[in-house]
Amino acid sequence: MSIKETFIRLKNKGEGALISYIMGGDPRPDLTIKIAKALIESGSDILELGIPFSDPIADGPTIQAANLRALKSGITPIRVLEMVNQIKDYHKIPIVILTYYNIIFRAGLENFFDKANKSKVDGIIVPDLPVEEAQDYKLIANKHGIDTIFLASPSTSTNRLRKILDYTSGFLYIVSLFGVTGARKKLKRSTIHLIEKISSYTKGKIPLAVGFGISQPYQVKSIIEAGADGAIVGSSFVKIIEESIHDENKMLNNIRRYTNELKRATIFEDVKSLSQ
């Protein structure tokens, strides 16, 4: 099922999407597969899998530490792509790769997208690729049938947002606040205003998903009610992995419980409210 089809299916059911992020290879490749299965079986609608990078400029301390653990485990970009194929053998939900542009550039755009397509990757997020420099990237991604998911932030101007929307497919990733990734206990009112503002441009065109700082079920519920089609949660999952790194059963049980709590928060009591 494609990313687009997943959002349509969820909307018809009266649900927002729970998009769950983990780092490929953290804490070791075989456990990444088990973690992915736990996330999917407990309610994640889309899986976001990170390719570790030595200089992850968009990430806070929690995901930076995951980068280091994954790199020490011997993971490579190709191995992360192979993981997508392995996970797809069990579950057909969309899987999105998050990577930095240098990894794609070094592999070669055509080569990278060819391998991603063969691994059944549904979409790619590249936080450090400006839309102004993405023409070749977009053309090659389209050729291989892979969604290009771009980011918009609180500082994105209206004119730039329109250009981003021309290049984005799958969903638009809204960075909810200034700064790097990392769980926050409170949801700023400015985030709600940002969703309301940007959803006026995306409604009926492309799903809108919100990430950065989302960690609590009430935050998920709030952003869905404000007009977002999905919530992206990453650092909190990575933190569970870090805190239970020597107890696999505890880790997987905590991930299942937390995923279930977050997924319940995406469900609308009244399906009609989605079409208003």
In terms of DSSP H, where are the helices of the chain?
3-13, 29-41, 61-72, 77-88, 101-107, 109-118, 135-143, 158-167, 189-202, 217-225, 235-243, 248-264
- Average pLDDT over the chain reads 91
- Asked if 195 and 226 count as a contact pair (C-beta separation under 8 A), the reply is yes
Q: Domain total for the chain?
A: 1
Predicted confidence at residue 31, as pLDDT, reads: 96
The domain in which residue 200 lies consists of 3-275
CATH of the domain at 94: 3.20.20.70
- Asked if 233 and 39 count as a contact pair (C-beta separation under 8 A), the reply is no
Sheet-wide strand order for 151-152: 147-149, 123-125, 95-98, 46-50, 17-23, 230-233, 208-211, 172-175, 151-152
- pLDDT grade for 186, boundaries at 50, 70 and 90: low
Give the active site residues. Answer: 48, 59
- pLDDT grade for 275, boundaries at 50, 70 and 90: very low
